[in-house]
Amino acid sequence: MLEEMSEYSTVLAHVNSVPSPLNSERPTRDVVTLYGEATSESLAMALAAAMESRRETMERVDVIRHLGLWPERGAVGDAAWRDERTGQLVTRDVSIAPDVIRETANQLLQECGATIGRLVAGLSMPDWPEGARRAISFTLTSYSILPTGAGARRDSLLEHYRQSDGYTFDNEGD
C-alpha cells in the first residue's frame, strides 16, 4: 500500500503480517505500507524488510510481525505467537540491521527491478479514485523464506521465480 507521509514520522514503511484464517490453506501474508513518494528503492527496502523478518521467525508459521522501517535504523519491531504447549502469548523483539536490508534490497532490484518498477508505477498512478486505498496485491516467491548466508545468496530470486509461479498481480487492492 502507499500512504501519504506523516509530518511527524520519519518511517519509510511498515510491514505487518496478517495471519491465515483458522482451518485455512491460505498462508500468512504480509502487508507492506510505504509512506511518502514510492520509488523502486523504497519499495525494494520494504520488501527486503518483509523477507528478512520472515527469516528471523522462520521456525514458526503462525507468527504475527509488526515492523517499522527507517533507512538509518533498519527494521525494528516485534513478533508474537502462541506457545503450542501452554497457550501463552510469546513475544520477541525483531531488529534487522540497515546493511542487511540494503543488501537484500539491492539483490531484489538486480534480479527483479522491472517488476518492482511496475509495482511502483501502479501505486503512483495519478488516477486512483478519490478515497481509494493505493494498494496492489501480489505474491512473492518462496525466496522470502530461505535462510540467510552465503549459500542462500547463491540461489537467486530469479531462479526461484523461473521455477515457480513467480509474481501474480490482482487489482483488488487488499
Tens digit of pLDDT for each residue in 30-84? 899 999 889 999 999 999 999 898 886 666 667 899 999 998 999 999 999 888 8
Q: 98 falls in which pLDDT band (50, 70, 90)? A: very high
Residue 21, all three cell numbers: 484464517
Residue range 103-109: average pLDDT?
94
Number of domains in the chain: 1
Q: Is residue 51 part of a domain?
A: yes
Ranges of beta strands (E only) in 2-127 are 2-3, 13-18, 29-35, 64-70, 74-82, 89-96
Q: Is residue 145 part of a domain?
A: no
CA-closest candidate to residue 44, choices 31, 58, 29, 34? 34
Q: Is residue 19 part of a domain?
A: yes
pLDDT tens digits for 55-66? 866 666 678 999
* Range(s) of the domain holding residue 11: 2-134
Q: Worst-scoring range by mean pLDDT, 50-64, 91-105, 111-125?
A: 50-64
Q: Is residue 45 part of a domain?
A: yes
Q: Is residue 156 part of a domain?
A: no
| Backbone φ/ψ region at 149: left (φ over 0), alpha (ψ -120 to 50), beta | left
Burial 33-46 (b: 16+ CB within 10 A, else e): bbbeebebbbbbbb
Q: Is residue 157 part of a domain?
A: no
How far apart are alpha carbons 105 and 50 in whole angstroms? 11
Q: For the sheet containing 13-18, what is the strand order?
A: 2-3, 29-35, 13-18, 64-70, 74-82, 89-96
Q: How many CA atoms lie within 13 A of 7 on its CB side?
A: 0
- Residue 91, amino acid: T
* Phi, psi of 66, rounded to the nearest 5 degrees: -135, 115
pLDDT at 19 over 80: no
pTM (two decimals): 0.76
Q: Is residue 121 part of a domain?
A: yes
Q: Is residue 173 part of a domain?
A: no
